[in-house]
Structure 1
Amino acid sequence: MERYRVNHRVATASHPQTNGHVEVSNREIERILEKAYENNKLYKEKVKRWHDRRLVHKSFVPGQQVLLFNSCLRFFPEKLKSRWSGPFIVKTVFSHGAVEIFDKHPDQAFKINGQRLKHYYIDTANCEAVTAHYAISGLL
C-alpha cells in the first residue's frame, strides 16, 4: 500500500476519530430523531384539541337521577344488552368534574368521572318524590 501512497485507516464505533463519516451519520440520525419527535408532539397536540372539542359538558345537581356507562371489556358481548346501568342518585358534584353517586344507600356512595354519566329522564312526579324523600331524610 505504501507503493501507491494509500493510507488505510480503520473506523470503528470505538475509534470514530479516524474517519469523519461516523460523525456525519450520527448528526443525520440525530436530525431524523428530532424531526420525528417534533412530528409526534404536534400530532398529540392536534389529537388532544380534537378530543377536547368533542367533550360534552354536562351539569348535574344533587338528587338528580343518572345512568352510569359500564365500560367493562367483555369477550362475548351481548348484542342487545344495554351498557348503561342504574339509575343512580347524585349525592355530590365536585368542581373538577367528578360526581359522587349512590344506588340505594347514601352511605355506600362512590365517586365517578362525570363523563361516564348521562341524565336519566323519567316522569317528573316520580323524580321529585325520590329527591324529596332523600332531602327529607337528610341523606343528600
Structure 2
Amino acid sequence: LHIAMALLNGRDAFCVAATNAGKSLSYYAPVLLNAGRIAIVICPLNVLIEKQVADLVAYKIRACYLSEDQMEDNPGLINKILTGHFKQKIGYVVVNEAHLVIDWGSEFRKEYACLYTLRHVIPNVPWVALTATANPEKV
C-alpha cells in the first residue's frame, strides 16, 4: 500500500518483498485509480512480463508488452512512444526484478545502460523498483 501511495503522490519508491507477496499490485492500483495514465513496466524476463500481461488482460485491464524483437522490427517505435500524445499519458515507470539491473546489467540487456535517459525524457514521472532479492550492498 505504501508503494502505491507513493506513486499516486508522484514520488519514487523502492520495494523489496518476497516472491508472490504482491509487489505487482503496488503499480496495478495506481493505474486503475488514475484512469488514463499508463505504466511503463521494464522487465528483463520475457516469461514474467508475458504472464503479467496475461493476468492483467484476464482482469479486463488493457495491457501489452514490447519485446526486443518488436523494437528491432520497428526501430522508431520507442521515439513514437516517448513523444507527443502518448508521452503525456505516461504516469509511472516500473522496473520489475530491479536487482537484475545491477546483477546482469548491460551484458544481459544492453538497454539497461540507458535507463537513466528515460528519466530525462519523462522527468516528472515517478519510478518504482521492485525486487525480491536485492543485495543491500548494491542498492
Normalised-by-shorter TM-score class: under 0.3
TM-score (ref. length: structure 2):
0.21
TM-score (ref. length: structure 1):
0.21
| Structure of higher CA gyration radius | 1
Q: Which protein is richer in strand relative to its size?
A: 1
Structure with more contact order per residue of length (Cα contacts < 8 Å, sep ≥ 6): 2
